[in-house]
Chains A and B, each alone.
Chain A
């Protein structure tokens, strides 16, 4: 039998309850940066739907994703269903940017920009405001359920719920006229989808940011898992300088004879005074001194914590810092201009340029001409041959366009539009379909001729639209 000493079986359950994490508040560079990101991101997210915008046709909301009329409004940019490649382009850009940033500075998205991180951060601030900092919260946790605990916990959840609801409602208001939706929502007149969306988002925000928190990052988020493949030895990650912190004899708390760096170095003791502050501030409850871990969202708060202690002692900061694995092993500064970052950087740049080109080069209007194929041609009473064409004009501008139709390639052909319209007018931001009859005398030996449909805007507001077609004689 194998040696059993290191493998013990005791009836521990296969399921473990989550240990609540109560991070200590900390000040510092990264905390400040996170606060700024939080403010800016929330400013955009919560205020955007309320900005009014004057446009010729469509809602007077600056940003609105109008599903029923199939338009996305982004200020003066109106995205139509046929512009959906722009969305694909935007997603490709986002992916490349993510790869680029991750290759360079690790999980920066997780730590600073991910909405799970932002909302968890805000909910923790609420918690700290109502229940006090880490120690008070830990004490409250141990208390029996008395009036104080009920009040504080209840108030926290109540504020969370309000924030969660406003988050859900704000998200919903991107899909409808925000002020109108606000009124309809509370008078019971809003569409069912608005209540369902708001309800689901209120619930998920409350559960994920209030209760699940780091569990989302550890167990649910696929991004946390696949990011590791984008890391290499030169990727900057939040890391503990173990060589400096542990020395030869390991870390040790401050005590008599180990108070200054000189005393400690003389005894081979490292610079880490084992104050555990880096563990206490960690929102995912890990010990960064154990090395790079899946749970680390790279938020930098442990750097702030350690720097604070080091500054207080008057020792050099940076015991915990952004450093690559290679740097920690050899002391070499990472080479940021490596093939991977340059490649991702170029791809990001190219995606940006293509996306911008796609936005600015969108045609203001387009036309499609489809020959009616059944029947391909018809003999008229006069002996002339008639071909029919479905002409669909799509006007993406905010003003009505009036076109004159000319068919080139058959000089003597008679062209008529069903409805006998003189000009083909297409209202602002919409499309119209016209049936066009083209009639021509048969020519001996000629089976088909190439046509060109030319639509000229009467006031020359846009370049003439052209489309090829074929005329079939027999």
Chain B
């Protein structure tokens, strides 16, 4: 307060403290409730220590008596409730199971589970939900190889953002492949030294990447006969085997576009693949992801590049 408290004689009160012989401190009493508010904070802290984790001792700490309950799946497959002393990890688990936003999410997950892929595509909101969850799941499980946006890596991991599908793009196939994984393999070919360049040039010509004619072309075409078993006589590939279409603009293993206009470089790229074959493996995710997660992942992946 602005005025010094005066006692009855009109004198100013001091606290009685004296410094340097003549410095005194005026006494402006605090309101008593303020003191009580201070005591209340002390009581509060004691209550807090009893309820929540507080004091360290040894290599442990007081756990407090408040608890957090959440459900886990037991070994027998039955859900059971677990009660733990209050901690933020248990809180997080509980919120992921029963908070309003978790329940709202579960409702959407239920929709994705029950609806057909065609129906989901027709419903903008469910599609948006599936794409969002799919995107996050992709980031967690797939992006390590296929890249954050599914762009893959030439020579190693297939590009999922384009519209070429080694095994076809039906939802059933995509779900199956995510669930079970894929063994991608092309055996190394034993092509004679004098024909391999012609073969590669012929392969390049299928997609307009090189021009061959006359004898070279017929030698190449002849050598291609051993490739046709998988890639087809016209080089269009075979989805059942995962043999790529060689007539389109996409190069998944041989980095032909990286060569620019250098035909020799392109030929070398193809030669390498023909001589060494391809050995690729994608693990199955059926034991790590739920069926609904895989469904959402399939929707996301299929829509990345369009048709």
Contact = CB atoms under 8 A, between A and B. Distances in A.
B31 A16 contact: yes
Contact of B35 (A9, A15, A219, A295): A15
Interface stretch (A78-86, A111-119, A131-139, A428-436): A428-436
Interface in B46-62: none
A325 to B, nearest CB: 16
Contact of A421 (B22, B124, B131): B124
Contact of A419 (B30, B122, B150, B164): B122
Interface stretch (A179-187, A308-316, A349-357, A373-381): A373-381
Contacts of B35: 15
A418 B249 contact: no
B33 A212 contact: yes
A324 to B, nearest CB: 20
B159 interface: yes
Nearest to A439: B306
B249 A374 contact: no
Given A418-B303, A419-B127, A375 B22 contact: no
B293 interface: no
A381 B131 contact: no
Contacts of A17: 31-32
Interface stretch (B6-14, B82-90, B196-204): B6-14
A372 B151 CA distance: 12
A382 interface: yes
A439 B307 CA distance: 11
B161 interface: yes
Contacts of A14: 15, 27, 29-30
28 contacts: A1-B21, A8-B12, A9-B16, A12-B5, A14-B27, A14-B29, A14-B30, A16-B30, A212-B33, A215-B31, A290-B3, A374-B148, A375-B149, A378-B161, A379-B162, A380-B249, A380-B250, A381-B164, A381-B248, A382-B248, A383-B249, A386-B306, A388-B161, A418-B127, A418-B131, A418-B303, A419-B124, A419-B127
Contacts of B149: 372-375
Interface of B: 1-3, 5, 7, 9, 11-16, 21-22, 24, 27, 29-35, 100, 121-122, 124-125, 127-128, 131-132, 147-151, 159, 161-164, 245, 248-250, 257, 303-306
A255 interface: no
Interface string A18-41: 100000000000000000000000
B147 A374 contact: yes
Contact of A425 (B33, B124, B132, B159): B124
A11 B7 CA distance: 12
B155 to A, nearest CB: 15
B27 A437 contact: no
